[in-house]
Amino acid sequence: MTDSIVVLTEEPLVGADVQNLESFHHGMDRQFFLLVPGDTERHLIVDFLDQLSLLHVGKAFRELAAKQPDTEQRRLQSDATLKVSLDALQTAGLKADGAVSGSNPVQSLVEKVQELDAREAIVITRPHAVEDTFHTDWASKAQDELGLPVLHLYSGSGYIGDS
């Protein structure tokens, strides 16, 4: 029997992310289903504070002043993130499929977990100081809705978020 694992990511998966996913249930038959948010609402001030919390002062101010991408640009970025991530998983020999989700990534994750009767859910994001501190991050919200643990990994590292 193949176990389904649903992964929600906001960043293209990199080697460390693939290695983390590969290590889960090693030797078992598993299928990953990757969700990438299509058009999420960003909060400029929260993003600014997230960058400051990571001591990325220059980047925080550049992003604050930068023109925000329009809906079509965000959709193209999501499509590219999905393609790069699926290619990375499949290159590592993992069974993977995926889709770009709608505007509510948490709801999309919950629905896909229920649809696939998934064994677990994993959220991979960059650190978000404000959301992580107040447990309003995607992993915490999904865990509340699903009633089961949701693993929260920080992109490009082995660090686990506190959800």
Total Cβ atoms within 10 A of residue 101: 23
Distance between CA atoms of residues 86 and 61, nearest Å: 32
The confidence score (pLDDT) of residue 38 equals 85
CA-based nearest residue to 29, from 93, 86, 83: 93
∠ CA 124-94-126, rounded to 5°: 10
Q: Give the closest residue to 163 by CA, choosing from 147, 144, 139.
A: 139
Q: Quick one: average pLDDT of 117-128?
A: 86
**pLDDT surpassing 80 at residue 116:** yes
CATH number at residue 139: 3.40.50.620
- Indicate whether 63 belongs to any domain: no
User: What is the distance between the alpha carbons of residues 105 and 86, in angstroms, rounded to a whole number?
Assistant: 18
Domain annotation covers residue 100: yes
Burial class, 145, CB count within 10 angstroms (exposed 0-12 / middle 13-18 / buried 19+): middle
Longest dimension (CA), the chain: 51
Q: 95 pLDDT band (50/70/90 cuts)?
A: very high
The span from the CA of 10 to the CA of 38, in Å, is: 9
Flag whether pLDDT at 102 surpasses 80: yes
Residue keyed to tokens 């590592």: 92
**Per the structure block, which two tokens stand in for 45?**
């001030």
Do residues 137 and 128 touch, judged by C-beta distance below 8 A?
yes
Range of the domain at 112: 3-40+71-154
Examine residue 26 and state whether it is found in any structural domain, yes or no.
Answer: yes
The confidence band for 6, taking pLDDT boundaries of 50, 70 and 90, is very high
Instruction: Please tell me which residue, 135 or 19, carries the higher pLDDT value.
Output: 19
pTM for the structure as a whole: 0.81
Per the structure, how many domains does the chain have?
1
Gap between the Cα atoms of 10 and 37, Å rounded? 6
The answer to whether residue 57 sits within a structural domain is no
**Do the domain assignments include residue 32?**
yes
Q: Quick one: average pLDDT of 41-53?
A: 62
Split at pLDDT 50, 70, 90, the class of 79 is very high
The answer to whether residue 109 is domain-embedded is yes
Q: What is the pLDDT of residue 16?
A: 93
In a domain, 163, yes or no: no
What DSSP state is assigned to residue 160?
Answer: B
Q: How far apart are CA 37 and CA 47, in angstroms?
A: 16
